[in-house]
Copies of this chain bind each other. A is one copy, B any other.
Amino acid sequence: MNDSPSGADRRITVICGGVGAARFLRSLIRVVDPASITAIINVADDMVLHGLSISPDIDTVTYTLADAIDPDRGWGLREETWRAMEALRRYGDGDWFSLGDQDLATHLHRTARLADGATLTEVTAEIATAWDIDVTLLPVSNDRISTHVTRADTNEELSFQEYFVGQQHGVPISSVRFDGIDAATISADADTAIRTADIVVVAPSNPIVSIGPVLAVPGVHDALAATNAPCVAISPIIGGEALKGPAANMLAELGHSPTAVGVAELWSDLVDVMLIDDADAALSQGVAATGVVPYVTDTIMASPERSARLATSTLSAAQLRNGPIA
């Protein structure tokens, strides 16, 4: 009944990291029924800190869709307090990673439920329900995967959070490793969500450490290869820079072009169409040369209106799978 480019009723499965993906999903629910969307979220940033199981990307997506994310910080909850962290200073702890008092409740709940034997998929659904979120939020895997990077200057291996938060991603890296990924498998729900999707979207998240470990989970590649759905990506790199975070530096340090072309090269076996920003129109031919159809548009989610247009454009772009419409 509904085959409009707005995508209503089409099942949309979005491969997600944290902040960029969360903002894209928030845009997408402005133009389609949230219940038609499934987010498959990176878990390789997950960690156990002070005994608590923390899933930064899942929480960022959850809090953003709940309209509870702190808009200035870009992570954690708004109207947050920091009493526990301040008290931790008495013990000389907690300097490099801050957990707000309300945010702690999410980690306490997750930790308790996992200890009870629940899967991360189950806990993530409980938390999403508690925040009245209609998008289906799925960790890509129920298994433990953890990103480590090697510093190029010292050859020291850091956990992702030590690199990202502790070092403010300010040191050059020479390699990235996803510990545990060989033994991990795609969760059954994530597998189904990819295989039964009408459109697959790769959100504008860090290609190396957010989308990278999702795609590397055994089973994800097979599910993407098996689906008939068009796969549309949004380049997280605009004019050679990431809007936020170290994606461009990481691409360059690991030998990729820090441009939309470099991203297209990474994903050319899976992605049919890539949205690249108006600022990168000159890169269209380079993207096309990788086998990915370029779609040049405004990709900066700087206002609700521009964000909603990006979401609509993304769904429209799915129609370009077989090449640009003449």
Contact = CB atoms under 8 A, between A and B. Distances in A.
Contacts of A131: 90
Q: How large is the interface on A (under 10, 10 to 19, 20 to 34, 35 or more residues)?
A: 20 to 34
A281 B83 CA distance: 49
A51 B49 contact: no
A326 interface: no
Contacts of A94: 105, 108
Contacts of A101: 81, 83-84, 87, 101, 104
Contact of A130 (B52, B91, B106): B91
A91 B124 CA distance: 11
A112 interface: yes
Interface of A: 48-53, 81, 83-88, 90-94, 101-106, 108-109, 111-112, 115, 126-127, 130-131
Contact of A109 (B93, B103, B105, B112): B93
Contact of A88 (B53, B87, B109): B109
A164 B300 CA distance: 56
16 contacts: A50-B112, A51-B51, A51-B52, A51-B111, A81-B81, A81-B83, A84-B105, A84-B108, A87-B102, A87-B106, A90-B105, A90-B130, A91-B105, A92-B130, A93-B109, A104-B104
Contacts of A127: 91
B102 A84 contact: yes
